[in-house]
Structure 1
């Protein structure tokens, strides 16, 4: 398992310097978060996500067909789990978003539970705006991410099956 202090420090340095981590740095960081999530029954105990509401979203590569897992912040709306495809406010959507568009039937790990879901991307409209606002009001970094990009950041509704 990667050194949690090093991984967290590397990510903090990227945020402070407004730089993008390498693919290898992101993979190591995500593995650390996923391992911690699973070791602690769905709770994250390491910075910078200590205590944050995180869900593990399984997704299948649109081109590769490989299964991947993304640890993401989430919110609940009724019976649905809501995630935001912010990628920190970069100009492009995250790879997991494209994968869920191509392969919407998947599963998530929410706390200790594995739940089958269908992903519904919302790229415009009142429902997208409402859900984005709801989550950003709880996690203000999402307000900042939208300010940092010209794209309208999509919301993904994960409907339980």
Structure 2
């Protein structure tokens, strides 16, 4: 997918709506770090997190698709001391995330999408 800064790697996240109970799909930029597939709930730096993030917090079971490959996944938020290395990697790859963090008071969540061992996306 292209952006003003150039092309970025995108995946398709299939998540259950926390209110509707319907499966929803969202295209998101993703990152790879320490063997993890990561997405970032920045929503451009708004105070409100994106609805897909709230859906994952209500039901972390999801499906992720990268190109023609898809797999079920479990979403988990990266927290604690190790989060800094993830954030540094993400902001080197996509410096706009720094600006988004500066726009809001909330800590922008980093979400790892854990797939089964041996699954390649």
Q: Do the two structures share a fold, i.e. TM-score over 0.5?
A: yes
> Does 1:92 find its partner at 2:27?
no
Which residue does the alignment assign to 2:21? Answer: 65
User: What residue in structure 2 maps to residue 138 of structure 1?
Assistant: 93
Q: Distance in 2 between matches of 1:91 and 1:84?
A: 14
8 Å Cα contact 2:33/2:89 also seen in 1: no
Larger displacement relative to structure 2 (140-149 or 106-115): 106-115
* Unaligned stretches of 5+ residues in structure 1: 1-43
Q: Tell me whether 1:54 sits opposite 2:10 in the alignment.
A: yes
Counterpart in the other structure of 1:106 = 62
Report the CA distance between 1:111 and its aligned residue: 1.9
Q: 1:160 aligns with which of 85, 103, 115?
A: 115
Q: TM-score if structure 1 supplies the norm length?
A: 0.67
Question: TM-score if structure 2 supplies the norm length?
Answer: 0.87
> Whose relative contact order is higher, 1 or 2, with alpha carbons under 8 Å and at least 6 apart?
2
Asked which structure has the greater CA Rg, the reply is 1
Shift of 1:128: 2.3
**Relative to 1, partners in 2 of residues 1:100 and 1:147: Cα closer, same or farther, differing over 3 Å?**
same
Gaps of 5+ in 2: 117-121
Q: How does 1:119-130 map to 2 (within 5 A)?
A: 119-122=75-78, 124-130=79-85
Cα distance in 1, alignment partners of residues 91 and 19 from structure 2: 31
- C-alpha root-mean-square deviation of aligned residues, in Å? 1.7
Distance 1:48 1:66 in 2: 32
**CA distance in 1: counterparts of 2:20 and 2:12, whole angstroms:** 20
